[in-house]
Amino acid sequence: MKKFENKVWLSSPTMHGDELKYVTEAYETNWMSTVGKNINEVERMISEKVGCKYAVALSTGTAALHLAMKLANIKQGDYVFCSDMTFAATVNPVTYEGGIPVFIDTEYDTWNMDPIALEKAFEIYPEVKVVVVAHLYGTPGKIDEIKAICDKHGAIIIEDAAESLGATYKGKETGTFGAFNVISFNGNKIITGSSGGMLLTDDLEAANKVRKWSTQSRENATWYQHEEVGYNYRMSNVIAGVVRGQIPYLEEHIQQKKAIYERYKEGFKDLPVTMNPYDEDNSEPNFWLSCMIIDEEAMCQQVRGETDALYISESGKSCPTEILDAIASINAEGRPIWKPMHMQPIYRMNPFITRDGNGRARTNAYIDGQALDVGMDIFNRGLCLPSDNKMTKEEQDIIIEIIRECFK
C-alpha cells in the first residue's frame, strides 16, 4: 500500500492563529517572563472551564504533580497508591519527595485504577493517606467509587487529568475530584502550549503555596529572601499565550477526536477487536487517543523484550507489534499502550496490588475471563491508533484497511 506523503501523527498540535496573536502581544509588550496578562487569562479561563476555584499555571504537568506531592505532605518512606497503567510522569514525582509508589492494578471497564484492587491495597497498607489517580487516554476512571474508598480510609486524591482535559464524569469535569489536580498542555495533548501544565484546587492556601514554591519560594521582602526550598516551575507568559489561543477550541478538538474514535469503531466492527472502553452511562471522554485491544483468541504469538519485540504472523490473527509495523509502513504513527509501571525496570521491586491481593510473580493467566494482571494483559493485547484530529477521513480509511489486512 502506498505511503502517505505527509506523516499521519498519533496526536500533534492543531493550531488556529489566535495563539500567534497572544504570543505576539507578549513580545510587543515585553512581558516575556513568568508574569503577564496571558498567564492571568489562562488561569481564569481554565478555572471557569473546569469548575475549580484556583488554577496555577506551571511549566509542565510534571511540575504540577511534584508540587501536588509536596502539598500532600509526602515524606521519605511513605507509601503512596498510584495508577499502574499510566505514563511515568504520574508516579515519578512521588519519588521526588521520597515516597514509595504502590501500584494498583487496572480494570477492564475503563482501563483505569481498579476500585476493588484499591480496597485490597488499603487492607494491606492501611496507613496510606495519598492516592494518585490518572484518567488513561482521556477516559475517566471510576472516580466516584475510588473517592468513596479514599474517604472511608481518610486518604486524599491527587488527580492526574493530564490526558483528560474536557472529559466529564456524571457531568463533572475531571480535574475537580481530588484535593489537588493536574492538567497538561504538552505538545501532543488535546490543547497545547507546546509545554506547560496547571495545578487545580479549591484550596486557596494550597494555591498560594504553589505560586510561592514555583517561583523559588521568594519571601515578601525587599531583597531576595528564601526560607524554604523553591523551584523554577512557573509558566512563561509566552507559553501562556499559546494556551490562551487554544482554550476556545477545546470542544471542537474533542468533537473531532470523538469522530475519529467512532470511525475506527465502525471500521473494526467485524474484527476480533474492541475499542478502548468507557462508561457510556456516566462519563464522556475527551477521546484524546483512540486505542484498540485484540481478542485473546485472535492474538498471534508475540514476545516483547525490554526494547524490542518479535511475532509470528498467523492467518486470521494479529498482534500489536504486527499492526504497529503495518501502520508505520504507510508513514503513520501508532504506539503501544503505556507499559504498566509495575513492569518497568525502575519500579519492578515496588509493591503491586491486584484485586485478589499481591500481584507480584503473576503469570499472564486468566480466571473466568479475568486476567490475574489486567495491566499486563491490556499492554500485551492493546495499541494506540493514529488519532490526530487533522487526519482526513480518507487517510483514516486507509489505516483501517491496513489493520484489517493484518487479520487476513
In angstroms, what CA-CA distances link 332 with 24, 307, 309, 399?
Answer: 33, 21, 19, 8
Give, as one character, the DSSP assignment of residue 60.
B
pLDDT of residue 45: 98
The CATH number given to 18-249 is 3.40.640.10
pLDDT of residue 371: 67
For the question of residue 142 being annotated catalytic, the response is no
Q: Domains of the chain: which residue ranges?
A: 18-249, 250-406
Rounded CA-CA distance 376/271 in Å is 22
pLDDT of residue 1: 78
**Residues 70, 120, 147, 189: which is the catalytic one?**
189
pLDDT of residue 189: 98
pLDDT of residue 2: 84
- Phi and psi of 50, rounded to 5°? -80, -35
The residue ranges of the chain whose pLDDT is under 50 are 361
Share of the chain above pLDDT 70, in %: 97
Share of the chain above pLDDT 90, in %: 95
In this chain, the answer to whether the domains covering 18-249 and 250-406 adopt an identical fold is: no
Homologous superfamily (CATH) of 250-406 is Aspartate Aminotransferase, domain 1 (3.90.1150.10)
pLDDT of residue 358: 72
Rg (CA), the chain: 22
